[in-house]
Structure 1
Amino acid sequence: MLHDLALPVTLPTRSGSVTLRNATSTDLDALMTLLSDDPISAARGDVAAPDDRRLYAEALDEIVDDPANALLVATDEAGIAIGTLQLTRIPGMARRGSARLLVEAVRVSGAVRSGGIGSALMRWVTDVAARDLGTPLVQLTSDAERTEAHRFYERLGFTGSHVGFKFRVHGPSAVRGDVPR
């Protein structure tokens, strides 16, 4: 399903171009770094700690092995990972049986942010991936504190149409890594 997307693909940006491809186990350290390059994620425990590498590796393997999921990496012209996002195709009954494409964990390295990379990634998601996957709705959640990200998504045509809720499950082995928030 998501593994059938035509990747890799080169996407033009304001600052050049990026190659978007499926993540592999060799991207693990770069993915950990991209997730930690964000104060909100870091406050949740994404600090790229070596002790957490096994947890991230298990998650990466699970995502890569699931045909309804894709973890993508954007690399610069030198092959350095500078962005990432996860896609999940969710079949649904609502909206006359429409599937949705969920976008999660969108990150662009702070060193190259504001160069049009995030826009290129999200335009590919809405213009290519959603069409190819037969998902007439693309949705994402964004932490309430990410006001700059909200403006970014609104500029791309996303609307803040829903209120999201989360429930933290407590107890042993309830959550991978037992991370807060």
Structure 2
Amino acid sequence: MKKVFLPSSIFVFFLLFSINSYACTCNCKWDCTFSKISTKNDFVALVKVIEYSDYLDIENRYGEKRPYSITVEIIKKYKGTEHRKRIKIWGDNGFLCRPYISELKIGSYYLIAPNIINSTSELGNAGDYDFFVCDVDYLEVDFDQKVAIGEYSKWRKNITLAEFERKL
């Protein structure tokens, strides 16, 4: 029994540590809420989702195409040097540390604090943006009430747009 157990244990050990796995590593030490992310990121804006712009080659479980990017219209820029009226934001393809872009709905409003993409690749185009799945870098906005809803801070789950602007 001992002779069989040792080789099997060694095999399992090497098998487990030789498999390449991929996982997002979140380096947020304590506070990745929107209030912290919007303070550190270079670009912050109120946007409206105009359309899903690019799609993945795979379908969801309902047979629908999965959106890979969205085009948003900038309603109000709070911070940054972005001059375009519309920008593109890229999502996850199943292997990235980004949220799925289908979480953002066409016609809805969001406060965003995205990251700029610096070079063009199959992951997005230079000058476009993306989100990081470990950060709260967008909040849904009730545009009629002028309130952002979500994890604004550890202790607040919503904030008025006017108050957000004052705090930023």
Do the two structures share a fold, i.e. TM-score over 0.5? no
> Greater CA radius of gyration, 1 or 2?
2
**Normalized against structure 2, the TM-score is what?**
0.30
**Normalized against structure 1, the TM-score is what?**
0.29
